[in-house]
């Protein structure tokens, strides 16, 4: 096995396609080298070494040391220096690089190879003593922090004390001799804290850094991140070691980051930031506020500080040309890092840029227009779940605003919530069901869980590429970063700006589109679904095979779903209509009735209300198919539970509380999910099914006359296990259809089908299909009954199952394709064998989950049905599944 791959000087042993072995960063460094772009020479230690390391008790492959030495020599030759040499030392950077970019791992050690001797050689070679000692102190701090585990506050304290003692205010006030003194103090402190001196040997330094990268693959933050992003542990990370280039060699040096298009909006304009005389990490760390790359951006931002275009025009032009080359080559928007060392441009990284969904849509539609990608590729570029971001509300332009501060519009959408100042408070509030805005001076990977819990993120420091901005965009959460006028006092838990002070718990609104921070809760508007979104969805609709319906029973839900492109209703849960005010009384009367006659009297009160519900639903759906399910839940769900409720309801109904209590006791079930529910109700109380059927058919006739479009209702029977059950209920429905048709003097077109949500129904699907005209897979109940675990109580033990890797995903969220999916497959086959044209759909929660939708496509379902807000996601996922 080859463990090390070199790159540099227009050649590389790797290439972009080798991400699994070289990690994303390593593969792209190789690719850029192959393209002849200016990349500092270096080499990548493969992810295979990481796997080996963990499989062999943290030991390296025996050949690794020799391969690293050879690669170091090769890099030294290209750079004209030698690693570990006292007189002409090669300095390197060491960075982790997994297949997917992964915050939370050891990130970077710069300037490795510096020690008490080589620092002097570097000073001489650079002709700049201050630069050399500044680099050395940065190296000691970074290395001690990430490799030796010494917290940076130790270093900050030493530096701050030194500055105070000498009357300095800025780091740039320190001259070379100052840094020498500070370095002495740093080294003494490291020796005390670590119990051993700071390593002076370059090879010892290097292997320490390599070990830290591999070790960080298993740190808690990396593990959490992998779990949240479904990244398998087995992937491992690579390590990239590269000759240093310096952005901090004075005023003709700089370092920066850029996106080839705007990652927030997708606009086709170079977008980025840089700092003169700085090292890479300074830009993202948010210690100094960076400058704009282009003149246009600088003017737009109204910034006084000059752009890169103005201060280093030649390097800028070369950089623009390289960005164009990279976009054309990768056929995607790139996120790049660069350094300019004394006027010479070096590329340090390129990768496909993270972007908001809004930007993703614009970039995909634009690139299709530019001829860079096909329509199918454009469709495949959009992550369906991300469409959710577009459904975010925005601040009503007419709303009154009390401006607290203004920062950068780092991630779009608006959100309101209580102010909290740390991630623990954010998580606690979220668990208590409250909405919060996480306010930090700046965020770090330690804040990921808090950012997840928050509705939005506000920072007072850092640019558009700061940690907070990048992570928030990835999460699709609103973020305002760098709101510099805000003073945060962590101890007092307050923020102050422009004479306004907000305490922890006060409500704030952030607008990630404008960067505004507003006092209180501000009214919001629902989003407009046009432009690039509409275009891409049109393409998706044209290339998908499955139809997308919605689960809806209220008029409001149905309207939203139609606006989002639903092509019908796949499940209308009629029981939800029973809970409405004015109805629940009649429902309870029905339940309390002593005989059929009493029940029919109560049902007669429900009939007009239920009919009106259906008329409205049919009208909204305007001729699109509507599936209405007969009553499903056990009757006790409609009765009061506590003594207080019982007393109150009894009074309202005019019955004795004792009677209510007795009926509730009679209806009590040990396991209601497997109890007196579904078609078992319709078989034992046929009058309930009859009332519902009458309401459906009368409504169909009425809505058909009103809209001028025939309504063809699909009546659905829940929880069928046997064909006989279905047949009994179907006979009642058919009889009612005939009766209503006769009464109205018309014919009624309709179909009767069943939920397939029990394992027996899947197995007996052939028999059931003899009489059922459609199947709708109720994968919620099917998952529950296949696993034998209750969907209401599962959270308690599913959590630990997920953490321990027993389950990869919650089977109630993403369909268990191997088990539950096998039952679906069997039912599809057996159903179709008997009735080739049988209509097949899914209406469990899985109908809105992209991975489950892919499965539905693979077994050839006719449609998926999901909650209204997931309809766009399902439309796109269905298209991707059929490409």
CA distance 636 to 626: 28
**Does 573 count as an annotated binding residue?**
yes
Structural element, H or E, at residue 110: strand 108-112
Other CB atoms within 10 A of residue 459 CB: 29
Nearest to 367 by CA among 385, 349, 352: 352
User: Pairing relation of β-strands 751-756 and 714-717?
Assistant: parallel
780 is a site residue for ligand PEP (CB under 6 A): yes
**Does 568 count as an annotated binding residue?**
no
User: From the list 463, 778, 811, 872, which residue makes contact with ligand PEP (rule: CB under 6 A)?
Assistant: 778
Choose the one of ligand PEP, Mg ion, none that binds residue 779, judging by a C-beta under 5 to 8 angstroms depending on kind: ligand PEP
Sketch the per residue contact string, 755 through 774, with ligand PEP: x for CB under 6 A, - otherwise. --x-----------------
What's the chain's Rg over C-alpha atoms?
Answer: 33
Closer residue to ligand PEP (CB): 462 or 844 = 844
571 is a site residue for ligand PEP (CB under 6 A): yes
Closer residue to ligand PEP (CB): 174 or 547 = 547
757 is a site residue for Mg ion (CB under 5 A): yes
Other CB atoms within 10 A of residue 429 CB: 21
Closer residue to ligand PEP (CB): 625 or 778 = 778
Residue 508, classed as helix, strand or coil, is strand
Closest separation in Å from C-beta 788 to ligand PEP: 15
Count, residues in the chain = 883
CA distance 221 to 742: 69
User: From the list 843, 853, 864, 878, which residue makes contact with ligand PEP (rule: CB under 6 A)?
Assistant: 843
**Does 629 count as an annotated binding residue?**
yes
**Does 108 count as an annotated binding residue?**
no
Closest separation in Å from C-beta 725 to ligand PEP: 16
Choose the one of Mg ion, ligand PEP, none that binds residue 12, judging by a C-beta under 5 to 8 angstroms depending on kind: none
573 is a site residue for ligand PEP (CB under 6 A): yes
> Residue 832 corresponds to which tokens in the numbers above?
């179709």
How far is Cα of residue 764 from the mean position of the Cα atoms in its chain?
39
| DSSP string over 194-235 | HSSPPP--HHHHHHHHHHHHHHHTTSHHHHHHHHHTT--GGG
State the catalytic residue, choosing from 679, 762, 843, 856.
843
Judged by CB under 5 A, the number of residues near Mg ion is 3
* C-alpha distances in Å from residue 797, one per residue of 653, 801, 805: 41, 6, 12
Sketch the per residue contact string, 779 through 798, with Mg ion: x for CB under 5 A, - otherwise. --x-----------------
Closer residue to ligand PEP (CB): 395 or 758 = 758
Using CB under 6 A, which of the segments 164-172, 328-336, 363-371, 776-784 binds ligand PEP?
776-784
Closer residue to ligand PEP (CB): 543 or 780 = 780
Instruction: Classify residue 386 by its DSSP letter.
Output: G
Nearest to 190 by CA among 252, 145, 224, 238: 145
Closest separation in Å from C-beta 780 to ligand PEP: 3
781 is a site residue for ligand PEP (CB under 6 A): yes
Expressed in angstroms, the distance from the first to the final Cα of the chain is 37
User: From the list 76, 407, 409, 778, which residue makes contact with Mg ion (rule: CB under 5 A)?
Assistant: 778
CA distance 499 to 15: 56
Catalytic residue status for 467? yes
8 is a site residue for ligand PEP (CB under 6 A): no
Choose the one of Mg ion, ligand PEP, none that binds residue 293, judging by a C-beta under 5 to 8 angstroms depending on kind: none
**Does 282 count as an annotated binding residue?**
no
> Residue 393 corresponds to which tokens in the numbers above?
């509300």
CA distance 52 to 46: 10
| DSSP string over 646-658 | HHHHHHHHTS-HH
Sketch the per residue contact string, 109 through 148, with Mg ion: x for CB under 5 A, - otherwise. ----------------------------------------
Closer residue to ligand PEP (CB): 76 or 753 = 753
State the catalytic residue, choosing from 392, 467, 636, 846.
467
Residue 809, classed as helix, strand or coil, is coil
Closer residue to ligand PEP (CB): 236 or 821 = 821
CA distance 221 to 69: 32
Using CB under 5 A, which of the segments 140-148, 433-441, 570-578, 771-779 binds Mg ion?
771-779
> Residue 511 corresponds to which tokens in the numbers above?
């607008």
Sketch the per residue contact string, 22 through 41, with Mg ion: x for CB under 5 A, - otherwise. --------------------
Q: Which residues in the 605-664 window bind ligand PEP by CB under 6 A?
A: 632
Catalytic residue status for 843? yes
* C-alpha distances in Å from residue 692, one per residue of 322, 550, 556, 775: 68, 21, 21, 20
Instruction: Classify residue 755 by its DSSP letter.
Output: E
Residue 515, classed as helix, strand or coil, is coil
Catalytic residue positions, numbered? 467, 843
Binding site feature residues: 573, 629, 757, 778-781
Binding site feature residues for substrate: 573, 629, 757, 778-781
> Which parts of this chain interact with Mg ion (CB under 5 A)?
757, 778, 781
> Which parts of this chain interact with ligand PEP (CB under 6 A)?
571, 573, 632, 757, 778-781, 843-844
């Amino acid at each position: 096995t080859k463990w090390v791959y070199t790159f540099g000087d227009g050649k590389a042993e790797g290439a972009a396609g080798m991400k699994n072995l070289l990690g994303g960063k390593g593969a792209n460094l190789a690719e850029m080298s192959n393209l002849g772009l200016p990349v500092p020479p270096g080499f990548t230690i493969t992810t295979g070494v990481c796997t080996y390391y963990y499989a062999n008790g943290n030991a390296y492959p025996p050949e690794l040391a020799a391969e690293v030495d050879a690669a170091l020599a090769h890099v030294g030759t290209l750079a004209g220096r030698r690693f570990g040499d006292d007189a002409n030392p090669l300095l390197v950077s060491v960075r982790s690089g997994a297949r997917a970019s992964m915050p939370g791992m050891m990130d970077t050690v710069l300037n490795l190879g510096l020690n008490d001797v080589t620092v002097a050689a570097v000073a001489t070679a650079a002709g700049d003593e201050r630069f050399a000692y500044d680099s050395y102190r940065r190296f000691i701090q970074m290395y001690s922090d990430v490799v030796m585990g010494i917290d940076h506050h130790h270093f900050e304290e030493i530096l701050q004390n030194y500055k105070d003692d000498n009357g300095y205010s800025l780091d740039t006030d320190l001259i070379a001799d100052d840094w020498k003194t500070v370095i002495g103090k740093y080294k003494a402190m490291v020796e005390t804290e670590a119990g051993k001196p700071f390593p002076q040997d370059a090879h010892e330094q290097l292997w320490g850094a390599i070990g830290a990268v591999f070790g960080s693959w298993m740190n808690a933050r990396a593990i959490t991140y992998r779990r949240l992003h479904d990244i398998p542990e087995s992937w491992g990370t690579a390590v990239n070691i590269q000759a240093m280039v310096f952005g901090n060699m004075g005023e003709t040096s700089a370092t920066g980051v850029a996106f080839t298009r705007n990652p927030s909006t997708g606009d086709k304009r170079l977008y980025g930031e840089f700092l003169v005389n700085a090292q890479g990490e300074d830009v993202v760390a948010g210690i100094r506020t960076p400058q704009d790359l282009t003149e246009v951006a600088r003017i737009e931002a109204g910034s006084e500080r000059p752009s890169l275009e103005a201060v280093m025009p030649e390097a800028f032009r070369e950089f623009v040309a390289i960005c164009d080359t990279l976009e054309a080559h990768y056929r995607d928007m790139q996120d790049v890092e660069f350094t300019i060392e004394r006027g010479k441009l070096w590329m340090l990284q390129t990768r496909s840029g993270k972007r908001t969904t809004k930007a993703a849509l614009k970039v995909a539609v634009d690139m299709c227009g530019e001829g860079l990608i096909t329509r199918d590729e454009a469709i495949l570029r959009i992550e369906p779940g991300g469409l959710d971001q577009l459904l975010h509300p925005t601040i009503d332009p007419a709303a009154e605003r009390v401006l607290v501060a203004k920062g950068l519009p780092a991630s779009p959408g608006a959100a309101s919530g209580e102010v909290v100042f740390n991630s623990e408070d954010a998580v606690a509030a979220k668990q208590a069901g409250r909405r919060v805005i996480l306010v930090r001076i700046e965020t770090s990977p330690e804040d990921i869980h808090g950012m997840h819990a928050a509705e939005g993120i506000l920072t007072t420091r850092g640019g558009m590429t700061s940690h907070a901005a990048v992570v928030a965009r990835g999460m699709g959460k609103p973020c305002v970063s760098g709101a510099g006028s805000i003073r945060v006092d962590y101890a007092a838990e307050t923020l102050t700006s422009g004479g306004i002070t907000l305490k922890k718990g006060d409500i704030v609104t952030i607008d990630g589109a404008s960067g505004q921070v507003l006092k209180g809760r501000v009214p919001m508007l629902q989003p407009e679904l046009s432009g690039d979104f509409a275009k891409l969805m049109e393409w998706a609709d044209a290339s998908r095979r499955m139809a997308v319906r919605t689960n809806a029973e209220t008029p409001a839900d149905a309207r939203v779903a139609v606006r989002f492109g639903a092509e019908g209703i796949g499940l209308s849960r009629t029981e939800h209509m029973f809970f409405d005010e004015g109805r629940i009384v009649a429902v309870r009367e029905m339940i309390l009735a002593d005989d059929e006659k009493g029940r029919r009297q109560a049902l007669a009160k429900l009939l007009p209300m239920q009919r009106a519900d259906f008329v409205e639903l049919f009208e909204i759906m305007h001729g699109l198919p509507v599936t209405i399910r007969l009553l499903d839940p056990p009757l006790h769900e409609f009765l009061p539970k506590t003594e207080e409720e019982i007393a109150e309801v009894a009074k309202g109904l005019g019955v004795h509380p004792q009677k209510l209590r007795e009926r509730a006791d009679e209806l009590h079930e040990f396991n209601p999910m497997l109890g007196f529910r579904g078609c078992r109700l319709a078989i034992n109380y046929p009058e309930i099914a009859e009332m519902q059927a009458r309401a459906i058919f009368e409504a169909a006739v009425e809505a058909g006359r009103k809209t001028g479009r025939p309504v063809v209702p699909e009546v659905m029977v829940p929880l069928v296990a046997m064909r006989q059950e279905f047949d009994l209920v179907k006979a009642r429905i058919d009889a009612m259809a005939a009766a209503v048709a006769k009464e109205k003097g018309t014919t009624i077109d309709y179909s009767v089908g069943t939920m397939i949500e029990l394992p027996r129904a899947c197995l007996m699907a052939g028999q059931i299909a003899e009489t059922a005209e459609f199947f709708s897979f109720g994968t919620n109940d099917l998952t529950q009954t296949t696993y034998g675990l209750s969907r209401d109580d599962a959270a308690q033990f599913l959590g630990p199952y997920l953490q321990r890797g027993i389950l990869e995903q919650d089977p109630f969220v993403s369909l268990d394709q191997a088990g539950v999916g096998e039952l679906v497959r069997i039912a599809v086959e057996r159903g179709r064998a008997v009735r080739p044209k049988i209509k097949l759909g899914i209406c469990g929660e899985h109908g809105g989950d992209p991975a489950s939708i892919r499965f539905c496509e693979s077994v050839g379902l006719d449609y998926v049905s999901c909650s209204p807000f997931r309809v766009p996601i399902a439309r796109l996922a269905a298209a991707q599944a059929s490409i």
